[in-house]
Amino acid sequence: MKSRLIASLFLGLSLVASPALAKDAPPATPAKTYPTVVDPDPTHDPQDVLNLDLSNGGRVVVRLMPAWAPNHVERIKTLVARRFYDGLVFHRVIEGFMAQTGDPKGTGEGGSDLPDLKAEFNPLPHVRGAVSMARTNDPDSANSQFFIVFYPRFALDRKYTVFGRVIAGMDVADRIERGEPPANPTRIVRASMGNESVSPPAALPAPVAAPAPVPTPN
């Protein structure tokens, strides 16, 4: 009986003490929420629309998402304003995976003269059309290189910073020359923001059909 009373006493104390401890504890920080809807209309908020005019004759339009990664978006805008991306090649393009650019050396080892960025990993998935920042093994090493995802690669989620998504011209991205590095790499002819009102390049002419084979006389 004595042991039961002692146990009951401790139980009673724990029930009394818990509310007091809970009252003194700091309030829990609510989890950050990220918008999942990406506006496909490039005329809306054009200051957050990145246009990539490529040497294959097309334009890739990317909706930058400051709510996902504000510092990474700001870095892209800063480099675009400096015309940093103009003329750079897609130096690493893997079929069924992604196309990577943003290295002035064209080797995957270069970057801008700005300091590397702190990671802004988020739960946004690496779906087709996602635009994410490249980095080394150091999570805080993203600088200027980024990649466009061809095919979902969810293993990259929360390990690389997704900062935008293609809203037009994914067919143009699909035409980027493959290779590591490509033998004849596709280049960014001009990178601009939507509010600069830069005209898109002229469309490539339709491919000419190969002539029908001429029968060989016997």
Summarised one tens digit per residue, pLDDT across range 116-159 is 999 999 999 999 999 999 999 999 999 999 999 999 999 999 99
From 155, 135, 159, select the one nearest 145 (Cα to Cα). Answer: 135
What CATH topology corresponds to 47-196? Cyclophilin (2.40.100)
Of 218 and 95, more confident: 95
Q: What is the pLDDT of residues 160-215, one digit of tens each?
A: 999 999 999 999 999 999 999 999 999 999 999 999 988 888 754 444 444 444 45
Q: Where are the domains of the chain?
A: 47-196
Q: Quick one: pLDDT band at residue 55, thresholds 50, 70, 90?
A: very high
Could you tell me the pTM of the whole model?
0.80
Whether the pLDDT of residue 22 is over 60: the answer is no
- Pair of tokens at residue 105: 């050396």
Of 8 and 39, more confident: 39
Strand 188-193 with 98-101, pairing:
unpaired
